[in-house]
Amino acid sequence: MIHLLTAADIPAAMRLKEAAGWNQTEQDWVNLLAAEPEGCFGINCDGALVASAAGVCFPRAQPLPDGRGSVSSALAWIGMVLTAPEYRGRGFARRLMDHTLEFLTRRGVEWVKLDATDMGRPLYARLGFEDEALVERWCLPKVESRPPVDLPAWRLEDFAQLDAAAFGADRTNILRPLAVESAAVPGEGYAMGRPGTKATYFGPCVARSAEAARRLLEWFLARHPGESIFWDLLPGQPEALRLAQEFGFEPRRRLVRMALRGSPGAALFRHDDSAVYAIAGFEYG
């Protein structure tokens, strides 16, 4: 039976995540539950949590003063679609996806997106999702010591419009808890980082120029000598790809970003991938 996940389910959810070999921490589950407490679902079987899914809603962003970057519809992001290996093939993921999409329909969401693994992509295609872009995980196995880079911390009020235009919606509910480690190039861009169970994570990073993104990457790497770094980027953004190659990152995984028009009358969803140098994560967008 499908039920709402709560904080009490996080240890079991982490076991699902570990079985899949993913990088999320307990704090990532805390963030999802805080952002959308009515949108995180699980299935119990034989007395244990064996499958999960989460749908987070992002409200419409306000148009910029000159009209550029305006968003015509709300967005939801689905992530953490997991099934314990020994319970795969029983239709649990399909049941959870149907349930999550029904929840998002009730919330009036007009567009739904997700980053699909090879395993999940056929299911999402059957549900009507269509390919939008590639997403790649790049890894730097070990950061060499670098001179420190002094940058001010990110402030939402300075970058809310830039981020909304890039992402396509207002994701304040996710950005605030992710900003534990953050920096900004004033007026040009920002970046964040957070721990992971496999590697430290770089992202999100949204910037007006490759030079600002470079400065933010240098700031981040200088803070993590000797660590392994994951960076999820859109290979359709050539400057992000070039920076990853220049700094010694190597490609590790490829997913497909997929989109579903949740409402038949939904207008074309507007976003600007050219400003996205690092996504927030497969589970966040």
Q: For the chain, list the domains and their CATH numbers.
A: 2-133 (3.40.630.30), 136-278 (3.40.630.90)
pLDDT at 263: 80
Q: What are phi and psi of 73, to 5 degrees?
A: -150, 160
Query: pLDDT per residue over 61-92, tens digit each?
Result: 654 343 443 333 479 999 999 999 999 999 99
Distance (Å, whole) CA 241 – CA 49: 38
List Cβ neighbours of 284 (8 Å cut-off, separation of 6 or more): 56, 77, 79, 171, 174, 178, 204
Cβ–Cβ under 8 Å, residues 55 and 106: no
Cβ neighbour number for residue 153 with a 10 Å cutoff: 11
pLDDT at 72: 35
Residue 110 tokens, joined: 């007009």
pLDDT at 62: 58
Picking from 82, 104, 44, the residue whose alpha carbon sits closest to that of residue 282 is 82
pLDDT at 71: 37
Q: Is 210 exposed, middle or buried (0-12, 13-18, 19+ CB in 10 A)?
A: middle
**Strand residues in 25-85 grouped as ranges (E):** 40-45, 48-58, 75-83
pLDDT at 59: 84
Taken as a whole, the chain contains a residue count of: 285
- 9-16 own/partner pairs: CB under 8 Å, 24+ apart: 9/42, 9/49, 12/42, 12/48, 12/49, 13/42, 13/49, 13/52, 13/80, 13/82, 15/49, 15/84, 16/49, 16/50, 16/51, 16/52, 16/82, 16/83, 16/84
pLDDT tens across the length of the chain (285 residues): 899 999 999 999 999 999 999 999 999 999 999 999 999 999 999 999 999 999 999 987 654 343 443 333 479 999 999 999 999 999 999 999 999 999 999 998 999 999 999 999 999 999 999 999 999 999 999 999 999 999 999 999 999 999 999 999 999 999 999 999 999 999 999 999 999 999 999 999 999 999 999 999 999 999 999 999 999 999 999 999 999 999 999 999 999 999 999 887 787 888 999 999 999 999 999
